[in-house]
Structure 1
Amino acid sequence: MTTPLSCVYVTHLVAPKHGSNEDECEDAVAVLPSRSHDDMLLEPVTAGVCDGATESALAKDWARLLSRAAAESALQRPDLLSGGTAYEEFASSAVAQWDPWLAQYTQARTAEGRPLKWYEHTKLAEGAYATLLTVRVDPDSGVGHEATEPAWRWRAAALGDSCLFHLRDDRLAQAFPVQAVEEFGTTPDLFGSRNRDAALLACRTRFTEGRCAPGDRLLLMTDALAAWFLSVPDQEGALRQLLEFSGPDDLDRFKKWLNRLRGGGLLRNDDVAVVRIDFEGR
């Protein structure tokens, strides 16, 4: 009997709000292993998606650090997204990375002749904040299922309103952690760079899991695009539009598409990040 082959393809796009440039974008994505979007992946895949809180200082830098830390930790520890002690240890380790990074940033500013102003020190003492969605996808051993049925298992943890959508037959099978557009608010839970209460961060984080078969997709989105996706009356049509953008070469077209939605009042003018994971097999 031929062993079924199951693989995934992963791509992601990050775009700033209209009127801003890439250096000002406060959404961040880290995907591991780091491969081209057209590479067939057979091994576990992890992703960290963050939406930095504009009102906090250095939010974009914290979002980038946190998303990377989440993807790395989820890849190293398969049990991370089950919650409990493993997630608390990750939260502690992520926060511990902030002060060394900030020290380097402060030194670089001084060396450039741009030392931090007194009001910057005050703001930095409050910490930086971001939402965090972490996802890990593993080949499923098929225990309890037909051996000829290729499948993958995914686990996710969400603090705040960056969302995961599981699509089957190009229809929404599961939304996490927000299930309806009315659930989006103005004050989502946030992961703070100076929050050393790891148990509290873990308590505020929601966890879930599922299984994917060939033909399924996972879409990970920050809040503005997720709210648009949940609000449109024709989700299949919306998905077809999203699937037009399949790699980094499509970023300019993606930005223009976002601006058309914004111009039509359909999409809030905010930074956007999306990760697309396609499952294939035979």
Structure 2
Amino acid sequence: MTSPGLYVTHLVAAKRGSSASECEDVVSVLPEAPFDELIEGPVAASVCDGATESVLAKDWAFVLASASAARALSEPHFFKAGPTFEEFATDVVNRWDPWLDEYACRRAAAGRPLKWYEQAKLAGSTFATMLSVRVAPSSPPDACSEAVQPIFEWRWQAAALGDSCLFHIRDDLPIRSFPIENADEFGTNPDLFGSRNRDTALLMARTRFAEGVCLPGDRLLLMSDALAAWFLAADNSITALHELLEFGGPHDASGFTDWLEKLRDRQELRNDDVALIRIDVEGR
């Protein structure tokens, strides 16, 4: 009998023509644990996709992913419109200027002080999408008798601003796609979280919230937009899923990148950075 728990792994790959350091897709998973270690829960995970057109997009995506995963792990009320989410939005925006000050100091110490035109750009906002998920054990139903073992259930909650997607998989089939359900819904101007956007009510209004229940054997897949669009457009979702599941951990990073390149060669995958978080639900 498998003990209840979660296996979590993630893979990130840069678009063709870019190095790993240039990749603007960022993930954060808490608690930090090896991919082959069973986590009793809860677990929080975030995927943030920095907008290429903005300055220091990867760095803002990192700040946003780290802050949202930490808040998601500690505060379940983060996943609904209300004061907890607004407090988070205020807090993460307030982190940006101190981060920029440290960045300027590092540049100066390295003999590369910020140029005047860089300072002008940094006075504006930097943007990223945000998908955050929390998975926590819920109380199993009462058994009808001592001979009947209750099924251990897991509750997931999600908050999405933009076009990174969560897929709830059961018996090799997606039973939920959030916040986008069809490949043709992807556009070129997704909603974005700005590093200087202090209109917390607007951010909250543009953020969508969802929740569901996982059973043992279910999987949750979090994907940034390019990979999510490929998955939703696949002629056979089972075949697409099995291709994804070939990559079980960081040791598969090279194979994952090679697979993405083949998809791009066949023009099935848009040339963009890719992030994937996989959460496997175990239990009796």
Segments of structure 1 that go 5 or more residues without pairing to the other structure are none
Q: In structure 1, how many angstroms separate the alpha carbons of the residues matched to 2:30 and 2:12?
A: 16
Residue 244 (structure 2) aligns with: 242
Question: 1:264 corresponds to which residue?
Answer: 266
TM norm structure 2:
0.96
Aligned residues: 280
User: Identical aligned pairs, as a percentage?
Assistant: 57
Q: 1:130 aligns to what?
A: 128
Q: What secondary structure does 1:186 align onto? A: coil
Determine the structure 1 residue equivalent to 2:159.
157
- What is the letter of the counterpart of residue 197 of structure 1? D
Contact 2:141 2:151 in 1 (8 A): no
Partner Cα separation in structure 1 for residue 159 and residue 33 of structure 2: 23
Task: Report the Cα offset of residue 5 of structure 1.
Answer: 3.8
TM-superposed deviation, 1:279: 0.7
Taking the TM superposition and a 5 Å limit, the aligned residue runs for 1:84-233 are 84-142=82-140, 148-233=150-235
Quote the offset at 1:116 in angstroms.
Answer: 1.3
CA shift, 1:144, in A, is 7.7
Is residue 44–residue 138 contact of structure 1 (8 Å, CA) maintained in 2?
A: yes
Following TM superposition, the consecutive aligned residue runs of length 4 or more in structure 1 with deviations greater than 2 angstroms are: 142-147
Q: Which moved more, 1:227-236 or 1:117-126?
A: 117-126
Distance in 1 between residues matched to 2:4 and 2:172, nearest whole Å: 19
Q: Quote the offset at 1:262 in angstroms.
A: 0.5
Aligned residue type for 2:122: L
Q: Secondary structure at the match of 1:9?
A: strand
* Separation in 2, partners of 1:276, 1:138: 15
Q: In structure 2, what is the Cα distance between the partners aligned to 1:143 and 1:86? A: 29
Q: Corresponding residue for 1:42?
A: 40
What letter corresponds to residue 65 of structure 1 in structure 2?
A: V
TM-score, normalised relative to structure 1:
0.96
Q: 1: CA distance between counterparts of 2:272 and 2:19?
A: 12
CA distance in 1 between partners of 2:142 and 2:192 (Å): 38
Instruction: For residue 205 of structure 1, report the CA deviation from its aligned partner.
Output: 0.2
Question: Unaligned 5+ residue runs, structure 2?
Answer: none
Q: Is the 8 A contact 2:163 2:225 kept in 1?
A: yes
Q: Deviations over 1:178-210 (max 9, x none)?
A: 000010000000001111111111111000000
SS in 2 for 1:153: strand
Q: Is the 8 A contact 1:5 1:150 kept in 2?
A: no
